[in-house]
Structure 1
Amino acid sequence: MTLLDRDGVRLALDDEGSVATLTLTRPGKRNAQDFALWRALAEAGRILPGSVRVVLVRGEGPSFSAGLDRRAFTPEGFEGEPSFREFAARADAGDAAIASFQEAFTWLRRNDLLSVAAVQGHAIGAGFQLALACDLRICADDARFAMRETSLGLVPDLTGTHPLVGLVGYARALEICVTGRYVHAEEAERTGLANLVVPAAELDAAARDLAAAVLAAPRDAVIETKALLRGAAGRTLEEQLAAERAAQGRRLRDLAGLTD
């Protein structure tokens, strides 16, 4: 069932309603992103049914996403949209607009979902950050990541900096961002940026297999485990141990039928 299909974004559900596939549908532009696409991505998060447990994020064609559409950097910008200059001239320097763009990426981190990016070809800038917004990344062996914002005089601002540092460490994240170099699939897997690298022809099947493995575990256990792991870096050991006990207590009460 297709729930959304506009502005370069298609959201579809499987027959059981437990797996949603979010597809960027601009293969002729290597799935370049613009403001309308970000609004559609944010809407996809808002309309996602509560039955969905796994979201697969993919791009049509040979590239996952080549990043921000270069029209954004022209004086005119996108037709009918504010230009970068207009954002800069606002009293908040575009803070509110950027916050709305970030909404397109943040919902993929919700604890009640597990998001998987299936990445092939280019994942550059905003495309790299969309992959980083997901919990897990499966990559084709031709995948190439790059963070090009700094070379354009900007910074990565679509929620990608926090997960990048968490995955590869500060020094490597800094080097990747300020040089704008390509991170190829082999390095991505070796450094923890990718969970798995497969031949390009096997990418979709590998993503579906991972979704099936996630669905095999009880949903509430997956939600509690994700919440524990996501919060671990911000807790002391003692706080993490207490969080584990609290989560396990909830699971035991649920399994014993003692929940309200």
Structure 2
Amino acid sequence: MTLLDQDGVRLTVDDEAVVATVTLTNPAKRNAQSPALWRALTEAGRLLPGSVRVAVLRGEGKSFSAGLDRQAFTPEGFDGEPSFLDLARGSDAELDVAIAEYQQAFTWWRRTDLVSIAAVQGHAIGAGFQLALACDLRVCADDVQFAMRETSLGLVPDLTGTHPLTALVGYARALEICATGRFVHAAEAERLGLANLAVPAAELDATVRDLTAALLAAPRDALIETKALLREAHTRTYEEQLAAERAAQARRLRDLAGIAD
């Protein structure tokens, strides 16, 4: 069932409404991103049924997403949108609000009530790289080309990508990737932990289906508790994490025993 199809984004759910697929649908522009696309991605997150357990993000065509549409930096910008040059002329508060709105398209993928998977092929550059990083897991085709080009353009990665990138590869490697803007290909992405799996392009969809099935095999509440434990582990001390594990396990045991909190 299709719940959304606008501005380069299509949201569908399977018959049981447990798997959602968000597809970037502008392959002619290599799924370049714009404020309208970001608003559509945010709306897709709002429209997700509460029953969805796995959200898959993919891009049509040869590229996952080649990043921000450079039209944003032209004086005319996009129809009906302020150009980024116009935004830069606004106040600090106005600019902060605009960027925060854009970031919403990248935040909901890490909700604890679902697991998100990015199926990445071809180019994943700049905003495309950050969108893949917004997901919990990444399955990559062997032709993938990750690159963070913002610094090379005099900008910074501001679409939520710096936190997961640093968590995955460490500060020094994240700095090197961002500062040089170089390509990270499939084998290196898998070795660094950017990709959970790297497979031949022809096997990308089947691999994502297999991973989705494996995630659905676990009881939902146990997976939600486990994801929450792992997501917050880096913010706690060792002893605090042990306490969090005990509290989560107590909830699971009471649930299995039919004992309400």
Once the two structures are superposed, residues 204-258 of structure 1 have per-residue CA deviations (whole angstroms, 9 ceiling, x without a partner) of 1101110100000000000000000000001000110000000000000000000
1:168-179 maps to which residues of 2 (within 5 A)?
Answer: 168-179=169-180
| 2:111 maps to amino acid | R
1:188-207 maps to which residues of 2 (within 5 A)?
Answer: 188-207=189-208
1:43 and 2:19 correspond = no
Once the two structures are superposed, residues 116-139 of structure 1 have per-residue CA deviations (whole angstroms, 9 ceiling, x without a partner) of 000000000000000000000000
Aligned positions, number: 260
Aligned to 2:235, what secondary structure does the other structure show?
coil
Question: In the aligned structure 2, how far is the partner of 1:143 from the partner of 1:83?
Answer: 30
1:216-231 maps to which residues of 2 (within 5 A)?
Answer: 216-231=217-232
Question: In the aligned structure 2, how far is the partner of 1:200 from the partner of 1:91?
Answer: 45
1:79 and 2:79 correspond = yes
1:71-110 maps to which residues of 2 (within 5 A)?
Answer: 71-92=71-92, 94-110=95-111
Gaps of 5+ in 1: none
**What's the CA shift for 1:74?**
1.1
**What's the CA shift for 1:87?**
1.2
**Aligned 8 A contact 2:151 2:181 in 1:** yes
1:131-150 maps to which residues of 2 (within 5 A)?
Answer: 131-150=132-151
Structure 2 equivalent of residue 8 of structure 1: 8
Once the two structures are superposed, residues 8-66 of structure 1 have per-residue CA deviations (whole angstroms, 9 ceiling, x without a partner) of 00000011110000000000000000000000000000110001000000000000000
**What's the CA shift for 1:85?**
2.1
Aligned to 1:233, what secondary structure does the other structure show?
helix
Question: In the aligned structure 2, how far is the partner of 1:230 from the partner of 1:49?
Answer: 23
* Aligned Cα root-mean-square deviation (Å): 0.7
| 2:155 maps to amino acid | L
Once the two structures are superposed, residues 57-105 of structure 1 have per-residue CA deviations (whole angstroms, 9 ceiling, x without a partner) of 0000000000000101212111211111221122226100100000001
TM-score (norm: length of structure 2): 0.98
| 1:39 maps to amino acid | R
Once the two structures are superposed, residues 162-203 of structure 1 have per-residue CA deviations (whole angstroms, 9 ceiling, x without a partner) of 000000000000000010000000000001100001110010
Question: In the aligned structure 2, how far is the partner of 1:167 from the partner of 1:7?
Answer: 31
Aligned to 1:94, what secondary structure does the other structure show?
helix
Moved over 4 A (4+): none
1:18 and 2:14 correspond = no
Aligned to 2:175, what secondary structure does the other structure show?
helix
Structure 1 equivalent of residue 209 of structure 2: 208
**What's the CA shift for 1:259?**
1.9
Identity across matched positions, percent: 78
Structure 2 equivalent of residue 115 of structure 1: 116
| 1:157 maps to amino acid | D
| 1:250 maps to amino acid | R
Compare 75-84 and 152-161 and name the one that shifted more: 75-84
1:240 and 2:227 correspond = no
Structure 2 equivalent of residue 155 of structure 1: 156
Question: In the aligned structure 2, how far is the partner of 1:241 from the partner of 1:45?
Answer: 32
| 1:88 maps to amino acid | A
Gaps of 5+ in 2: none
TM-score (norm: length of structure 1): 0.99
Compare 89-98 and 125-134 and name the one that shifted more: 89-98
